[in-house]
Amino acid sequence: MYKTFHRKKIVVIFLVCTAMFLGLAARLVYLMIGQSEYYTEKAEDLHERERSIKAARGRILDRNGVVLADNRTVCTVSVIHSQLTEPEKVVEMLCSELNLEEEYVQKRVDKYSAIERIKSNVDKETGDKIRAYDLDGVKVDEDYKRYYPYDSLASKVLGFTGSDNQGIVGLEVIYDKYLEGTEGTILTLTDAKGVELAEGGEGRVEPISGNDLNISMDVNIQTYATQLAEQVMETKQADGVSILVMRVKDGELLAMVNVPEFNLNDPYTLTDTWLYREVETETQEYGETVKSIVKVPATQEELTEKEYQDRLNGMWRNGTINDTYEPGSTFKIVTAAAGLEEGVVTTKDSFSCPGYVIVEDRKIRCHKVGGHGAENFVQATMNSCNPVFVTVGLRIGADRFYDYFEQFGLLGKTGVDLPGEAATIMHKREAIGMVELATVSFGQSFQITPLQLMVTAASIVNDGTRVTPHFGVKVTDEEGNTVEVFQYEQKENIVSEETSATMRYMLEQVVENGGGKNAYIEGYRIGGKTATSQTLPRGSGKYIASFLGFAPADDPEVIAICIINNPQGTYYGGQIAAPVVRQLFENILSYLEKINYN
């Protein structure tokens, strides 16, 4: 009986072992055949070192094919700890060639990692010298760094890229997905210790270059407008000058200037304008101590981290779209158009300006203290008469005027293809009383961006068609083949064609015989409107002078606006801003005619 039990036990054990063996065999077959591809990849991963190859970023080209943003070949220097045979020599060489601190380099050389980056954006000449040392474990990979041939030209429009070659501000960030391309890789085989196998060779997955962005900017117009702005800023000792130029029919922006600009090839170095610190001072006035904040010159090293970042953000800021201001009398274009459209005023209506108008308990003065006397609506526009425009605004009424704000597109954004566009700051509909309505009618008590004002004025003189301002025109590949053409929304019937024609006539009279006569050009029909507005808070003694002009006046093709912030001395828009637009038009209108405004 014992033998029988013993024999059965042996059989059971045998069967269990057989089953286990068969299971292991089946598992082994499954892993070797069914999962061979998976484990082959795993094995390769253990013995591969991967380094990225940056793709060449697409260029940015102006409307004539001039390159505004390009690439330069640079190098990334890295070390692989497991492959280093002479670490002391490597540290010494890298410190010398890259001008780095020994402690910084030593820390990275000693670090156990697949690959440790020492420095990026090393110029190619230096990279070639490091490669020539032929030291084990030192890798020099070529990639690309963004390069801007015109340095500061259109800096706040183009924007720039970071160390990873991705866009940070401006067009570079808006169109990043078209420009960035696809990175490649370098694959090397290593043994179990991570030492590179010479016989394994080097595998490469080539990068795919980004596409080119073709924009509407004309480098010739942008350059000349920048020169004009810089001259005005220097002669008038202004805080800043902005100039915008746009094609009326389709919204293509030909120029966008904001001086002072900054160097796109060195965007983290503050320009002189931004090298200051704010210091609290005390003065005695009428026996009392008055505290105030003043700006004092500083070096970049003297700034705190927060001060430095604040200055950078200010330096990069595009005032024509990121900032709002009280437009003053240029906004009378909107009031006049709304009044004509509503039927509360005609060109022949007569008015009398005594130099002021009373609204509720407020006495609102005209810029001409003695008043303009008797005048019709065309003359009132030529004279930029506040009392007349207050009267027109009151005739329209707060509720209907607000409707026109919506109809004209003033309460939203223009939709420009640049980051950070600000919206109009306007009273709520229910908060507009008689006084607010009166001040809004001549361009005060609300704020708007320069671009929004120009686009709205363009729609009023463009038979009532509102366009979307933009720079992006199309995307092309390396061979110049079109990849994508951008389309932009247009809105019709902002005003009737009749109102538009009347506005063109009235604004041409402003230039021919009114306050905008300093923009007049012999042989050309120019329309426009001047403005002089105080900056907030009132009584600061700071003003903004501006002029908005378009040509030809009977069938506008191009529109421009010049804004001068805090000019010293004479600060009237008709005297200092209108001549800037005149000089601009004198130089670009014949040029645009030759190329048929294309």
Residues labelled as active-site residues: 329
Q: Which residues contact 239 (CB under 8 A, 6 or more apart)?
A: 565, 566
Which residues are within 8 A (CB) of 328 and not within 5 positions of it... i.e. 6 or more apart? 442, 443, 444, 531, 532, 533, 544, 546, 573
Angstrom distances, CA of residue 258 to CA of 144, 168, 405, 546: 28, 18, 27, 14
Q: How many CA atoms lie within 13 A of 57 on its CB side?
A: 31
Q: What 3-state class would DSSP assign to 53?
A: strand
Q: Are 273 and 259 in contact (CB under 8 A)?
A: no
Range list of β-strands (E), 124-170:
138-147
Tell me how far apart the alpha carbons of residues 356 and 363 are, in angstroms, rounded to a whole number: 7
Find the helix or strand (DSSP H, E) in which 184 lies.
Answer: strand 184-189
CA-wise closest residue to 338 among 509, 492, 433, 457 = 457
The β-bridge partners of 208 are 182
The tokens for 426 are 């306007």
Query: Tokens for 215?
Result: 């924009």
Q: Is 342 helix (H, G, I), strand (E, B) or coil?
A: helix
- In angstroms, how far is the first alpha carbon of the chain from the final one? 110
Q: d(Cα 427, Cα 447) in Å, to the nearest integer?
A: 10
Nearest by Cα to 428 from 411, 449, 450? 411
CA distances, 397 to each of 203, 339, 347, 391 (Å) = 74, 10, 19, 10
Residue 82 DSSP label: G
What is the rounded distance in angstroms from the CA atom of residue 565 to the CA atom of residue 568? 9
Could you tell me if 181 and 251 are in contact, meaning their C-beta atoms sit under 8 angstroms apart? no
Q: What is the DSSP string of 226-256?
A: HHHHHHHHHHTT-SEEEEEEEETTT-BEEEE
Q: CA 69 to CA 212: how far, in whole Å?
A: 10
Element of type H or E holding 351: strand 350-353
CB 563 within 8 A of CB 591: no
With contact defined as beta carbons under 8 Å apart, do 309 and 303 qualify? no
Q: Which two tokens stand for residue 26?
A: 């089946």
